[in-house]
Chains A and B, each alone.
Chain A
Amino acid sequence: MLAGIARELIGLFVDDGMLALAIIAVIVIAAIVASLIPGATAGVVLLAGSLFALLANVLAVQR
């Protein structure tokens, strides 16, 4: 039962592996940008990247 609960806990955050991977990639890129360019540039990368990752993942279902 514990393994089942652990699986379901992970499933709370990761349902579609590609979407989770895309989100992590966007965050890593935003973190790199934040360390190189101070200001709101990293925020733009984070927001635009998250929106794009979501839309691309949903559109990929269609194909």
Chain B
Amino acid sequence: MTWATFAPAVSAAFLGSLVEAIEALTIVLAVATVRGWRPAGLGAAAGLASLALIVAGLGPLLDRVPLLLLQLVIGVLLLLFGMRWLRKAILRAAGVIPLHDEAAAFAAGTAELREHRSRLDWLAGLASFKAVLLEGLEVVFIVIAVGAGRGLLLPASAGALGACALVAGAGFVLHRPLARVPENALKLAVGVMLSAFGVFWTGEGLGVAWPGADLAIVGFAALFLLVAALGAVAVRRPLEVAA
């Protein structure tokens, strides 16, 4: 194991989980603001428990999958997942689609919940559950994708757990969405890293002998970053000047 694999894997798991945890926190806080902490907390706890069950159930199966097949499947999924993030981040950086705004997402979430004020608290809990489960599944996928196949599951998990604990702690103290985090820059960085890992693992799965071995990931990341910057500049929308 070299730093060229270790550092990108742990930082990709940390930064990717940071983004997902912030998005989950926004929904949980919206539920807590409108319906109270009980349904928000119970929904989040149920989501975490479901995630734990999924990880406990599927985790041991990873060891049974042949390494080349695991690398190929994970590589293909990583390419789809990472380049989807990267495309969105490029279009947001270029001003083609609006930036993801946690404050706006929080406002929309609370407004929607207030519309259903007469309904039972379990509906609010369900929103919290769904947010934690779906964002958590993305975290689990990122950890497996960057950690499996190179024996980095533990460090990648530690990176992801650190990010989730950081966001949960900040949300608990601040009691409002973390709107100041540069989410698009984080998504761009994670998209670059996941796409680089995706090319690497897919190639390994196809039997490609990469020049420089693990160090090739750093080169791939630099190329994806370059293409992302070129793409953002090429499609940048001119700023509208007020008359």
Residues of A within 8 A of B (CB): 1, 4-5, 8-9, 12-16, 19-20, 23-24, 27, 30-31, 34, 38-40, 42-43, 46-47, 50-51, 53-55, 57-59, 61-62
Contacts and interface: CB of A to CB of B under 8 A. Distances in A.
A54 B134 CA distance: 26
Interface of B: 76-77, 79-81, 83-84, 86-88, 90-91, 94, 96, 126, 130, 133-134, 137-138, 141, 195, 198-199, 202-203, 206-211, 220, 223-224, 227-228, 230-232, 234-235
Give the secondary structure class of B's interface.
Answer: helix
A40 B203 CA distance: 9
A43 B80 contact: no
B227 A51 contact: yes
Q: Which one of B195, B198, B203, B234 has the highest number of Cβ atoms from chain A below 10 Å of its Cβ?
A: B203
Given A1-B126, A42-B207, A59-B234, 11 more contacts: A13-B84, A15-B84, A23-B80, A31-B206, A34-B207, A43-B210, A47-B199, A47-B203, A55-B227, A58-B235, A62-B234
Give the secondary structure class of A's interface.
Answer: helix
Contacts of A15: 84, 87-88
Contacts of A47: 199, 203, 220, 223
Contacts of B199: 43, 46-47, 50
A31 to B, nearest CB: 6
Contacts of B130: 1, 4-5
Contact of A46 (B87, B202, B228, B235): B202
B141 A39 contact: no
A34 B206 contact: yes
Contact of A5 (B79, B134, B206, B235): B134
Given A46-B208, A58-B87, A14 B231 contact: no
Contacts of B210: 40, 43
Contacts of A23: 76, 79-80, 83
B133 A5 contact: yes
Given A42-B203, A57-B87, A61-B91, A51 B76 contact: no
A43 B212 CA distance: 13
Nearest 8 pairs of A and B residues by beta carbon: A43-B208, A58-B231, A13-B80, A34-B206, A62-B235, A43-B203, A15-B84, A51-B227
B90 A19 contact: no
Nearest to B77: A13
B227 A54 contact: yes
A53 B79 CA distance: 11
